[in-house]
Structure 1
Amino acid sequence: MAGDDVTVSNGATDASGIERDRRLILDARAKGPLATLGAYTRLSGPGWLQGAITLGGASLAGSLYLGVLGGFSLLWLQPLAMIMGIIMLSAIGYVTLSTKERPFQAINNHVNPVLGWGWLIATLMANLVWSLPTIGLATAAVRQNLLPGVVGADALPDNLGKSIACVSITLICVTVVWFYDTGRKGVKIFETILKLMVGVIVVCFFGVVVKMSLAEGGLDWKRIFGGLVPDLKLLFSPANTFAPYIAEVDARFQDFWRNHIVSQQRDVMVTAAAAAVGINMTVLLPYSMRKRGWDKNFRGLAIFDLSTGLFIPYILTTGCVVIAAATQFHTQPARGFLGERDQAGVVIQPAKNLMGPYGEVAGARILYEVGDKAFAGMTEEEKSRQIESLMENLPSADKRMAAMLVKRDAFNLAQSLTPLTGSIIAHYIFGIGVVGMAMSSAIILMLINGFVVCEMLGIPSRGWPYRIGCLMPCVGALGPFVWTGGKAQFWLMIPTSMFAMVVLPIAYFTFYLLMNQRSLLGENMPRGGRRVLWNALMAVAAGLAAFGSIWSLWSKMRWVGIGGITTFVALALVVHFVRSGKPSPVAAEKR
């Protein structure tokens, strides 16, 4: 059995520090709300770690494409997803702080080992999948926004520039993670660094929106606040703002554009929801609390910590990105694809990174016109001639739609903001925000992986096994070299986040069941109206997560995906019935 994860110093448990924190909270409560608020502010930490990982590349990508596709009409989605996530994280925190059992052991002993192992394995997989685009995003931001003259494409050969930026970023992340394994003081340094990074991220993106609101024309705040009202029709139809442009398209091809927009909208909505609270955050919270030595006296602090360190920074940052993207890109064709000219009469050239994505969208429209069966029957030469001919003669209305829906990224957004905010804010402040999001997320992915590996091995999360586990997400350093070419690499956050949504219900339903285990919680189990409220809120959150998971599986894998989740559930049920006839490990120990 793994040992306790309470922070260690010089090989001994720092019990005096934990008792000092507990006494600080109890004394503050006796003095009143203001004193309690001050104590909570001083002791906060794990909630800010949650903020550091959720404000990562996936949240940035989700926010960007929500703005591109939905304009202001999808501003409601991320706050709703975060509220559902905080409900589950609060339940996880309650269970963790109410019992001395480690979460993995508690799940295996009191619920089902299939769910326990599924929870850890899914988290490990999600970490490794997410690490690839995350470090790649930070590398791209350094090369394109912050240091283009040092490691950019024009300064160094492509692979050399990538290598220098990527290795430097990875080493910085590893160094910061190392602090977490150097005792109580190291944990404090680590959490302070992450708090500062989250603060910088919020200030950068908030500053961009403030500057936009002060520019000529400003922002339409009435429409912005209107976008906070949920609109579920967007799961099945494009945003209303696309209607006049679709109406200009030949009637034969209007359904193609509607279906194309809705398909992307759904993927982005799932991504934004998955990035708000991912399955790896359900591991980070309980084990970071245990690392701090928190118990039931710290429950109020845990809720305060999640509110200030997670909810507020997330809502401010993602909301600002959606607003900026909606203002600059929604129903706005990417420049250079419609024969536009600048003030000197020179034809504007499209951004290089958008050429490939534009060809994909326009090519899909052409394939729709030709038909899959007819296209498959052509020779390669005939296909090439047909595509070239149709591409040249593509109606202007279709070209406009393709240019609107081309997959842009954060760097295109920074470029578009230059006339409004100036080059310093658009490139450097925005770039610092992007790098901060990617690096803070990469750091926490490493931290979580260390927890997961040690828990799988049944050992305390410290020492070299923990550090080796932390190093596994460094595989993300391969991201900039694996995903190359004309692809919109920023879009790669979308499919990786959809995978995370598929596995999220494992954690949600597992802790829903754990919250109702009297054998675990004993006298700490909620009763009466509180229990009804907890269960109702958790049921809504878990139900929405299950809906997103099944939707993602069906849209991408059809019956294969449904078969996979059915097999997992069936295995859990078989193990449950096999164990039901035997005494539980807890009961056996009591004997």
Structure 2
Amino acid sequence: MSEENDSLAQEKELLTSVENASVSKKISTYSKLSGPGWLQGAITLGGGSLAGSLYLGVIGGTQLLWLQPLMMIFGVLMLSVIGYVTLSTGKSPFQAINQHINPVLGWGWLIAAMLANLVWAMPQFSLGTAALQQNLGLFNGENGDLLCALVLFATATVVVWMYDSKGVKAFEMILKILVAIIVLSFFGVVVVMAGELDWGAIAKGFIPDFSLLSQPADKFAGFIAASSAPDYWNNIILDSQRDRMVTAAATAVGINMTFLLPYSMLRKGWGKEHRGLASFDLGMGLFIPFFLATTCVVIASANQFHGKYDEGLLDTKMATEQTAKLQGAYEKNLAGI
């Protein structure tokens, strides 16, 4: 315990010494001491963010590149405020809300955070199982899904145990490595297809365009106008586009992250001296990895799928069982109009 206290005291002295230092000196010092922000980044870079980015690129192309970074900026601002209050008072927001406002709000927040953990965490086992079986060819036999789930659960248990013991630094290093692997993987996909990309359209895609809440992406305009039922397709595409936008926005920062952040900061013994570090930590560990990963997924999915269709939908000679099902559903919907 005394070693931890000495280390924390040295950390606080170091932070105090760089308060008026140059920007480069601060960045160097903060980078060495960062931690909880990377935990937030690891939480948010899961199946929800992946699916949200994937379908965002499919339905909106590069026109919707601005959406997830904008939502994450709002999320980082909110988390920064929570962190500032926590480090200033030395109390968790849950404790402060119960004591100074109303226990109903505090416990409601806790219950909502627990439910969010269940909603977001359980699907990760399915995603992890698919990764082990399809990508690595492991546990494909009988009871393979159960074995995958047990392996993932055991791994997660060990990692969490490390955070609750003296292995905090090892835990944080593992998180940084995992987040880096995720970002580099998606970045590599974009690098491979770099020659096919319209970089002008990509740059333009970072400019917020709220008209996409009321009209389909530009690439669908010609298809809709040439169809025999333009109103039908306009509504279908717009409804789907809105749903994908809401999904992508909702998976940026979850309520479970707002509850976890203050506890992870207090667990490390952070105080008032760490307020600047906390904001930097969220930017470095949460925003930048999220921005790079989701942007690369949107660009890749937009390049591969946006505005493209199965030729079997138009040419009966190339029709497949899947296109026949889609055509049947389309005709049924038209009959109901």
Q: Which interval holds the TM-score relative to the shorter structure?
A: over 0.9
Given the superposition, is the C-alpha separation of residues 232 and 296 from structure 1 closer, same or farther in structure 2, using an over 3 Å criterion? same
CA distance in 2, matches of 1:371, 1:34: 64
Question: How big is each residue's C-alpha offset from its partner over 1:66-124, in whole Å with a ceiling of 9 and x where there is no partner?
Answer: 10000111111011101111111111011001002221110112222222111111111
Question: How big is each residue's C-alpha offset from its partner over 1:445-467, in whole Å with a ceiling of 9 and x where there is no partner?
Answer: xxxxxxxxxxxxxxxxxxxxxxx
Deviation at 1:165, TM superposition (A): 2.4
CA distance in 2, matches of 1:292, 1:331: 48
2:217 to 239, 260, 265: 239
CA distance in 1, matches of 2:328, 2:116: 32
CA distance in 1, matches of 2:50, 2:89: 36
Code of the residue aligned with 1:367 in structure 2: it is K
1:366 to 315, 331, 334: 331
Code of the residue aligned with 1:38 in structure 2: it is S
1:107 to 94, 97, 119: 97
Deviation at 1:16, TM superposition (A): 2.0
Deviation at 1:31, TM superposition (A): 5.0
Question: How big is each residue's C-alpha offset from its partner over 1:450-499, in whole Å with a ceiling of 9 and x where there is no partner?
Answer: xxxxxxxxxxxxxxxxxxxxxxxxxxxxxxxxxxxxxxxxxxxxxxxxxx
Gaps of 5+ in 1: 1-8, 342-346, 373-591
2:79 pairs with 1:89: yes
CA distance in 2, matches of 1:196, 1:142: 19
1:117 to 107, 110, 132: 107
Instruction: Confirm or deny: 8 A CA contact 1:238 1:261 kept in the other structure.
Output: yes
1:286 to 262, 267, 290: 262
Q: Which residue in 1 is equivalent to 2:180?
A: 199
CA distance in 2, matches of 1:81, 1:314: 11
Gaps of 5+ in 2: none
Deviation at 1:245, TM superposition (A): 1.2
Task: Among all aligned residue pairs of Structure 1 and Structure 2, give the percentage whose two residues are the same amino acid.
Answer: 53
Deviation at 1:30, TM superposition (A): 5.5
2:247 to 271, 281, 294: 271
Given the superposition, is the C-alpha separation of residues 340 and 313 from structure 1 closer, same or farther in structure 2, using an over 3 Å criterion? farther
Q: Which residue in 2 is equivalent to 1:43?
A: 33
2:3 pairs with 1:22: no
1:79 to 53, 62, 69: 69
Instruction: Confirm or deny: 8 A CA contact 2:313 2:327 kept in the other structure.
Output: no
**1:521-560 counterparts in 2 under 5 A?**
none
Given the superposition, is the C-alpha separation of residues 362 and 111 from structure 1 closer, same or farther in structure 2, using an over 3 Å criterion? farther
Deviation at 1:338, TM superposition (A): 5.4
1:140 to 126, 130, 139: 130
**1:46-445 counterparts in 2 under 5 A?**
46-144=36-134, 146-148=135-137, 150-152=138-140, 156-157=141-142, 160-183=143-166, 186-214=167-195, 218-251=196-229, 254-334=230-310, 355=322, 362-371=327-336
Instruction: Confirm or deny: 8 A CA contact 2:90 2:266 kept in the other structure.
Output: no
CA distance in 2, matches of 1:81, 1:363: 38
**Structure 1 length-normalised TM:** 0.54
CA distance in 1, matches of 2:204, 2:131: 32
CA distance in 2, matches of 1:272, 1:201: 18
CA distance in 2, matches of 1:287, 1:263: 39
Question: How big is each residue's C-alpha offset from its partner over 1:285-339, in whole Å with a ceiling of 9 and x where there is no partner?
Answer: 1111001111111011011101111111111110000000000000111476556
Question: How big is each residue's C-alpha offset from its partner over 1:545-590, in whole Å with a ceiling of 9 and x where there is no partner?
Answer: xxxxxxxxxxxxxxxxxxxxxxxxxxxxxxxxxxxxxxxxxxxxxx
Instruction: Confirm or deny: 8 A CA contact 1:335 1:349 kept in the other structure.
Output: no
CA distance in 1, matches of 2:45, 2:305: 22
Instruction: Confirm or deny: 8 A CA contact 1:212 1:219 kept in the other structure.
Output: yes
**Structure 2 length-normalised TM:** 0.93
Instruction: Confirm or deny: 8 A CA contact 1:179 1:187 kept in the other structure.
Output: yes
Code of the residue aligned with 1:172 in structure 2: it is T
Code of the residue aligned with 1:166 in structure 2: it is A
Instruction: Confirm or deny: 8 A CA contact 1:29 1:35 kept in the other structure.
Output: no
Larger Rg: 1
Given the superposition, is the C-alpha separation of residues 365 and 86 from structure 1 closer, same or farther in structure 2, using an over 3 Å criterion? same
CA distance in 2, matches of 1:360, 1:104: 51
Higher relative contact order (CA 8 A, sep 6+): 2
Given the superposition, is the C-alpha separation of residues 147 and 240 from structure 1 closer, same or farther in structure 2, using an over 3 Å criterion? same
Code of the residue aligned with 1:176 in structure 2: it is V
CA distance in 2, matches of 1:200, 1:265: 30
Given the superposition, is the C-alpha separation of residues 63 and 124 from structure 1 closer, same or farther in structure 2, using an over 3 Å criterion? same
Deviation at 1:281, TM superposition (A): 0.9
CA distance in 1, matches of 2:314, 2:174: 46
CA distance in 2, matches of 1:364, 1:56: 32
Code of the residue aligned with 1:243 in structure 2: it is A
* 292-301 or 124-133, which deviates more: 124-133
Code of the residue aligned with 1:197 in structure 2: it is L
